[in-house]
Amino acid sequence: MKSIQHIFKDIKLHRLFLDLSVLSAKISLAMIMATFRMIVPRSTKRLLGETVLITGAGHGIGRELAIQLSSMGCIIVCWDNDVDNNRSTIREVSKNGGEVYGFLVDVSKRLEVRETVRLMRKIGVPDVTILINNAAVLYHKPYLSFDPDDVEKTFNVNVLSNFWTIEAFLPLMLQKNSGHIVAISSMCGIYGVSQKVAYCSSKFAVRGLMEALHEEVRLDERKSNIHFTTIYPFYVDTGLAKDPKYRIVPESVMRLILDFLADVDRKRREKDVMNL
């Protein structure tokens, strides 16, 4: 007869086997769906007419998103603190016939964010329906060599800017019960990486912000059509990371983001129609 200890051990092994089986099934399903989406792309019409504001639109993922979302019929609002890079993105979008607005903004400063939003409304920029918080900075150095100013800037740009932009645009989304807030995070927001302590800490904070805010809004059934998405790309060749061995190009990340945005915002639009 088995002892109690052996019985519990068998139960734990059984549970582990079930967990691994479920994980394997999920991975298989994800691979099948990814393959299907590569062969049968989603309709780009689902994002037609959306007004998308992108922070850090002057380079990397932000630039690619601006260009591609414009080609899908979105109105683009480019925010960046680099005037030349932002103008370059705006020119590229305009060249393809897209409607685009550009603003020079330091998103780490709450007052600048608020003033820019007031300016947008004054000149008649359409209400933002999709907010993509993409702006970020990264300082790569050992922890004991960090510069306090770099740490402060990392949290101001990578974390606090999310608070300021969401504060600016969420109220109208709640009023209309329609909107989508997206945070471009990083795999560094899931696990720690050597010599990126401040960056990892900031990305963990973004994850907490988005998850907690989603829970807060979700509790109000009247606001069920507000969506929150956090995206965790691997090291992307945006000019921030210093390890080219593990970089993937922004275009690859962008395609996945666009696919997901199209799906989520199709569901949001369907709810908008149902609530008319």
Distance CA 81, CA 184 (A): 17
In the three-class reduction of DSSP (H, G, I as helix; E, B as strand; rest coil), residue 130 is classed as strand
In the three-class reduction of DSSP (H, G, I as helix; E, B as strand; rest coil), residue 137 is classed as coil
Catalytic member of 199, 232, 235, 246: 199
DSSP 229-275: EEE---SBTTTT-S-GGG-B-HHHHHHHHHHHHHHHHHHHHHHHHHT
Determine contact, residues 158/206, Cβ cutoff 8 Å.
yes
143 catalytic, yes or no? Answer: no
5 Cβ contact partners less than 8 Å away, ≥ 6 residues apart:
none
**Cα→Cα distances 92→58, 78, 88, 121, 216, Å:** 11, 12, 6, 24, 38
Distance CA 185, CA 204 (A): 8
Q: For residue 239, give the nearest of 160, 108, 136 by alpha carbon.
A: 136
Distance CA 113, CA 119 (A): 10
| Residues belonging to the active site | 199
